[in-house]
Amino acid sequence: MTDSISIRISPSPMRIWLGVAAMMGLGAILIYLALAHPPVTLVLRGFLLLFGGFAIFGGWKMMQSGQLSLILEGDSLTDSAGRVVATIDNIEKVERGAFAFKPSHGFLLHLNEPMPRAWFPGVWWRMGRRVAVGGVLPGGETKAVADMIAVRKSGMEL
């Protein structure tokens, strides 16, 4: 296997700001609806406030994780902060079909062994045996990384 080949995926600032604006805007609208036009039931008002706050928190977290890059090098996919997203040996399959539950312009990895949860919205998240990559990352580059992971997983030389 060729370990010297590496690919780095970095989100563009415009995509990050569009994603953050969409999340924060959704949160602001939900909170506005809960306060300015209160629903009849208190449960629905709480629901709007809770999810509005969660959307604003998600936008804030996306702004922070927009500084991350993903690096495929050697036998692992890592982020620029040094966290291991997944190792090639632990990947069962790569899924990037139209009907896969994946972020936009991204792909989904199914792992053999579960790993700890991690959430960096817009870049990657991991829950148990699933890792999703994408969101604000460029689609062409994520497709290339998904293809390289699939080739490395099959054991073919690059």
Over pLDDT 70: what percentage of the chain? 94
Confidence of residue 3 (pLDDT cuts 50, 70, 90): low
pLDDT of res. 43: 94
- The packing angle between helices 13-36 and 42-65, to 10°, is 160
Contacts 24+ apart (CB under 8 A), 10-16: 10/69, 10/137, 11/66, 11/68, 11/69, 11/122, 11/123, 11/136, 11/137, 11/138, 12/136, 12/138, 13/66, 15/122, 15/136, 15/137, 15/138, 16/62, 16/63, 16/66, 16/122, 16/136
Q: What is the mean pLDDT of the chain?
A: 89
Q: Is the pTM of this model over 0.85?
A: no
Mean pLDDT of 84-104: 87
**Dihedral (CA of 48, 50, 56, 61) sign:** negative
Q: Where are the domains of the chain?
A: 8-65, 70-154
Quick one: what percent of the chain has pLDDT higher than 90?
58
